[in-house]
Structures are given as structure tokens and as C-alpha cells.
Amino acid sequence: MPVQDAQARKNNFHEVALGYTPEMAGEEAARCLNCKNPQCVKGCPVEVDIPGFIQALKEGDLKRSARVLKEKNNLPAVCGRVCPQESQCEARCILGIKGEPVAIGRLERFVADWERASGAPQPERPVPKNKKVAVIGSGPAGLTAAGDLAKMGYQVTVFEALHTPGGVLMYGIPEFRLPKEVVRQEIDYIRKLGVDIQVNQVVGKTFTVDELLQKEGYDAVFIGTGAGLPNFMNIPGENLTGIYSANEFLTRTNLMKAYLFPKYSTPIKVGRRVAVIGAGNVAMDAARTALRLGAEESSIIYRRSAEEMPARHEEIEHAKEEGVRFMLLTSPVAYTGDENGHVKGMTCQRFSLGEPDESGRRRPVPIPGSEFELEIDTVVVAIGQTPNPLVPRTTEGLVIGKHGNIVADEESGATSRPNIFAGGDIVTGAATVILAMGAGKRAARSIDEYLKRKLRREVKG
Amino acid sequence: MYKILHKESLGTNLHLLEVEAPRIARKAESGQFIILRLKEEAERIPLTIADYSREKGTLTIIFQEVGFSTRELAGCQAGDTILDLVGPLGVPSEIENYGTVVCVGGGVGIAPVYPITRDLKKAGNRVFSIIGARNSGLLFWREKMAEVSDQLFITTDDGSEGRKGFVSDVLKEILDKEKVQRVWAIGPMIMMKVVADTTRPYGVPTIVSLNPIMVDGTGMCGACRVAVGKETKFACVDGPEFDAHLVDFDLAMKRAAFFKDKEQQALAMCKCGGERR
């Protein structure tokens, strides 16, 4: 797939991957074998009819192709950009055994982009059902659950704490990887399905889940509030200025458009030498964002080796092309600051790898006496998040796990309370967009079953 | 959209806005704050709730013009709207009948101290209040504070009103004479630090409300972290009130100053009316 030149793109926020031309898409689609028993579908958390949409594309019927995609996936232009296809659908593709799998993600993106450009048709609205569902959080899990429930005819209201819906798609993933206009248009589609999205509503503060159920007449609630609180390492000097959580760094940039300061009023400060702690997708996003904000050097500091890096291969490659340095088997142990309390250096320690730990990855073991100093003036801590406590703390009788997550059945999203369902990062801890969408989809299905049972009881009663 | 129903000037660069926000007013408690965003290009600004009316469904906020964003907000008139208003955020003040309490408000900090003072009085406390500022033009709500206090003291640095001196001078006198169970102090960081140092030798539990740099206000971004004792806390979800004797004020002041040069840059680039070039 064509991409923006690395030297040019590290100075702008425009999308890196440019997408297929119609000819490229046609050629790629032609490679699909249209397997009788398509393995790719089993690798897709939202069960997209992959051969179906590719065959329609092959036949040049893009309208039908888009319709097939959207039967299962409410956010195809997002998924076509940020899904880890290489470990999901494409990992199962039969062509991948001996050669290159079909580039399913790129084809998905092509079809979704074509539809947006040519004007998506007004979706059909089903016969309305007399039941109301509240969805807390408008990230990938919430939007998927809301879209699916609306397709079934339920009256759905989504409550979002920030001023813009989209969750991590808006505040977390940079413009150069996922343009915000793409997200906005996919959210418009969810709205066209009949979903009411209310922003600036902090559930747990503005009102509680129980108030929604008891006072506002909702019949069921889906909680998809994501992974809210940033983790820090709790090492000396970590509260110096110039040390950001990845969430703050990315929220300032993506949601608040700090890269357009002072046209937009939210500031951000990036020094000459930036260190990003961690090696997931969020860390790659932060390291690449730092370059675009003017850093001369941007380094990934990670305590394991290249093999264990959790980020997508493509993101790591893109980061390398743009000049991000990788300091592996290294981790900070303390920060030092100047007289203004601003970070000016960090003490790092080298690691070696021991036996695998509970995550299945080899455990990093610090090497005694290996400490060394590094001059830096900006740090971004990207070592994950723990679930936001606002909803769990304020909802009576909800069973909470030891990490502050909501305990819910993986398959159904059912929690300890019959009318409350949950899914996505608030249940699993920080994961991917598509896994959250899968959870939203399964929860929508079980909310439907729950409400049908409720309806039957009402009819009988 | 949230409608501004009333605007009032309270002193030098001090403004009051009464905003229609019934959902938030229904839940607001003393000590909590809101975040507003005036328009699409604007920052998210955290402001403590100065007052609320559940009946009218309104919130009162008071702010001082210090940088570009507060100047822009000061340019609003009654009838204008604020694009986003979210809250109530943070943990409410712990209001109980402690016995004798002192409430200290410094400058624009008088605003958030008022509802706490009122609630403490309502809860049966004997309330001494001290309000202070650099000069008389930076003081407001004298009558409202007097109404909810057993005794109100006023100080100014330059002696233009009340006693010449600092709020901490009066506070020390009260502590010498009375058995005080608890002190609340809200104002500039340096004032809160001095109050903490004043009450420490007396062993009086002292609460301050911090207003650090913040973005989302729901715990997500971690910008508002403060060192309290040996722990790092997020002011937006753990606070904004903390035990004054445990707060690392020096670090908090440095963190609060982090974007000062950017604020100057924004201010220099805007025209006087608050418009962007």
C-alpha cells in the first residue's frame, strides 16, 4: 500500500498510509480464494463476512461490498486502519501458509473509504422496540454495542464523559494513523441508525448507573468505559514537569489539537530529546507524535527485547522509518530535574531476559551495576492503564476484580447484576480496538436476549 | 450548549458567571468543580463551583483573567453560550459538625470557600472566616461570607481594606485564642502553603483545594498528579481537597507553572478583544 514518504511525513500530521487505488484493490481482491470454509472469519472478533465483501468488490459492486461489511462491522474505516489484522483474520488466511495472505484490512479500508467518499446510503431503521438501553462510554466497545442494538430496534442512548464521542479513537490514536474525520463520519453512521449520543456526561458523577435504571427508565445498561487511569512506575522524580502519561500527551495532541497551537488554545511542550517508556501501539504513537511536534530525537525505552514488543509490526516499521530510536532491554529507575523542577535526565538500567512469566513473555531481569545516565527533556510514560474507577465505585452490587476491572462473562458481557452488561478494556484491561468491538457485539446480543425475556415476562404478567 | 444567564464584575479582572446546567446543579456539592470549554478551539478549563441552585438549575463560577483562555471567557456576556460544561467533578468536601472551624479564602479562592463555609455553618459549626487579597479591588463576597460566618476577618497586603497583612496573621491569632478543630484554605498555592505552615505547629487538621493543570478531569490523563505524603494522587478523582500538611507545595507550584510561557505566547498573539489572529 502506498505510504507518505518518511522524511516528509514526520513533519506533518497527515495520514501515513495512503490506501489502495481501485486497480490495486481489484488486484488484491482477485487473490481471494473464496474458501468454502473461510478461516479468516473465525479470526475476526466481529465476524465480518470477509469472503462476501471481497467477492462483491471483485465483481465491482462496491455498494454491496460496503453493505456486507456493515452488516457486522459498524466502524469499517476505523478497523481497516487500526486492527492488528496480521494476528487476526489475515493470520488465518489460507494463502498465508505458503505466501502472502490477502490484505483483508487494506481491502476493508478501501471499501469503507469508497463508501464515505461516494455518500453512504441512509441505513434502514428497523421496527422500533419499546425498550431503552443506556451505553456508558462512546469508544469502540460502546459504539459497537450501540450500533448493533439500534439495528435490532432498541432505543439507545450513549453517554460520553468527554466533549467528543469516539473514546480512544479520538483522544488516543493520532491523526496520522486514524484521521479524526474518518472517525466522525463513522460516528455519524451510528447516529443515523437512531442512536442518541450525549457528550459531557460523566456517569458516576453527573448521574449513576442506578439512576439511569431506576429514574430514567432504561431497561439495561452496557458499560464500556475503557481503561481510564494511566499507570506510572512510581520511581523517583516521576512527577517532574516534562513527564507526561501517554494519555495526557496524546489527548492534548489528538483531541485538543495542541499541534495547532495557538489557533487551538491547548498547549503542549516537547523538548529536543524525548524518551517514551513502553513499546505498545500507544508508545509508538507517542514516539512518532513527538517527532511531529518538533523533537530532534525520539526514543522507545523498553525493558524486554524486540521480539516481545506488543506493538503492531507495521507501526514499529513506520516508527523506525521516521527515525525513532529503539533502546531495548533498558528501563528507567529514576529521573533528575533542573532548578525549575523540569526533567533533564534519567538513570536507566539494562536488563536481560529470564524464564517466561505469566504473560508468556520472557521475564526481564535487571543487570546489577548496569546503570547509566541519559540526557532527556521530555518523557512519555506509556506502560498501560488501569480501569477508570468512576463507574465501578458508584454502582451498587457490581462485582469488581482485583485490578479494579468489572467482572463480566467474556461471552455474554453479563455482570453480577442482571440488567448491567460490560465489555472492552473496563473488563479485560487495556487491549485493542477490535477486541473491545467484539465484546460490544457479544454484549449487544445478550442484552437483546435479556430484553426479549423481559418482554415475554411482561406480556405474560 | 450551556447558556450564560448572568454576568457580573466582582473586582479587578474578577468575573462571575451564572450558567444554566440543571443536570450538574442537581448533583453539585461543596468542594467540587466543573470543566468548561468555551468553543471548538478552546481549552478545557477546570473551575471550582462557587455556588449552585438546584431549583433554578444553575451554577455560579468565578474566575480571574490570567491568560488567554480566561480572557476569552471574560469576553462572554449574558445570553452567550458555553459549548461544553461537565461535572460535578471531584470528591465533595467532608462537611460535619467539627466544633470550631476556620475558613480561609485568598483572592479568587473566596469563591470556592463560600459554599464550604455555608455548609459548615449549616452543619452547626462555629465558623471563623478570613478573606484576603493583595488589595481591596481583588476582594468580593464580603456580605455573603459574613452571613455564613460567626466572625469575618478581612486582610489586604497593602492595607487598602481590613487589616494590613496576610490571612495567616489573623489565622495565627485565632489559633492562639481558640480551640480550632479544622481549617479550610483555598487560594493561591503560596497562600495555601503558608496556611499549612501556620497550622502545623498547632496540629490542626487543615484542608486545601488544589487546582492543578488538568485536561479531562476524570482520571484519564494524569496531568493533575500531586505528591501527597509518599503517594502520587490525581487531583481530579482523589481530590481536589487534600491534607495540607502532606501536600508537596513546591512540586505543585512548579507543575502549575509548566505552561506559563505558552500562555504568554497565546496572549501575545491574540488581540485585546480575545480574538485569535
The shortest C-alpha distance from B175 to chain A (Å) reads 34
- Chain B residues in contact with A205 by the CB 8 A cut-off are 27, 87-89, 218
Which element (helix H / strand E) includes A63? helix A62-72
Say what the pLDDT of residue B270 is: 64
Within A73-197, residue ranges assigned H as helices are 76-82, 89-92, 104-118, 140-151, 168-171, 180-192
Q: Which mean pLDDT values do the consecutive 10-residue runs of chain B (277 residues) have?
A: 95 94 96 96 95 96 91 93 96 97 97 97 98 95 97 96 96 97 97 97 97 93 94 94 97 92 80 46
pLDDT band at A453 (very low <50, low <70, confident <90, very high): very high
Is A163's CB within 8 Å of B41's CB? no
pLDDT band at A123 (very low <50, low <70, confident <90, very high): confident
What is the average per-residue pLDDT within A258-264?
A: 93
Give the span between the Cα atoms of A86 and A422, in whole angstroms: 27
Is A206's CB within 8 Å of B88's CB? yes
Asked if residues B8 and B16 have their Cβ atoms less than 8 Å apart, the reply is yes
Q: Pairing state of beta strands A330-337 and A343-356? A: antiparallel
Question: Higher model confidence: residue A347 or residue A118?
Answer: A347
Reported as a single tens digit per residue, the pLDDT across A2-23 is: 899 999 999 999 999 999 999 9
Q: Which residue has the cell 495567616?
A: B168
Question: Higher model confidence: residue A226 or residue B269?
Answer: A226
What is the average per-residue pLDDT within A206-222?
A: 96
Reported as a single tens digit per residue, the pLDDT across A62-82 is: 999 999 999 999 999 999 998
Is B86's CB within 8 Å of A161's CB? yes
What is the average per-residue pLDDT within A218-240?
A: 94
What is the average per-residue pLDDT within A341-370?
A: 92
To the nearest whole percent, how much of chain A has pLDDT over 90? Answer: 85
Reported as a single tens digit per residue, the pLDDT across A183-200 is: 999 999 999 999 999 999
Beta strand spans in A224-360 (E): 229-230, 243-245, 273-277, 297-301, 325-327, 330-337, 343-356
Give the span between the Cα atoms of A231 and A247, in whole angstroms: 10
Global pTM reads 0.94
Say what the pLDDT of residue A264 is: 93
The shortest C-alpha distance from B89 to chain A (Å) reads 6
- Chain A residues in contact with B227 by the CB 8 A cut-off are 239
Is A256's CB within 8 Å of B86's CB? no
Is B221's CB within 8 Å of A257's CB? no
What is the average per-residue pLDDT within A305-333?
A: 95
Cell of B170: 489573623
Please say if the pLDDT value at position A29 is more than 50: yes
Please say if the pLDDT value at position A110 is more than 80: yes
Asked if residues A197 and A186 have their Cβ atoms less than 8 Å apart, the reply is no
Q: How many residues does chain A have?
A: 461
Q: What is the ipTM of this complex?
A: 0.93
Give the span between the Cα atoms of A186 and A148, in whole angstroms: 14
- Chain A residues in contact with B237 by the CB 8 A cut-off are 229, 389-390
Task: State the first-to-last Cα distance of chain A, in angstroms, to the nearest integer.
Answer: 59
Please say if the pLDDT value at position A361 is more than 90: no
Is B222's CB within 8 Å of A234's CB? no
Q: Is A329 left (phi over 0), alpha (psi -120 to 50) or beta?
A: left
pLDDT band at A398 (very low <50, low <70, confident <90, very high): very high
β-bridge mates for residue B33, sequence order? B48, B89
The shortest C-alpha distance from A451 to chain B (Å) reads 28
Q: Which residue has the cell 491523526?
A: A175
The dihedral built from the CA positions of residue B225, B227, B228 and B230, taken in this order, carries a sign that is positive
β-bridge mates for residue A275, sequence order? A299, A379
Query: Does B265 contact chain A (CB < 8 Å)?
Result: yes
**C-alpha A85, offset from chain centre:** 14
Is A390's CB within 8 Å of B276's CB? no
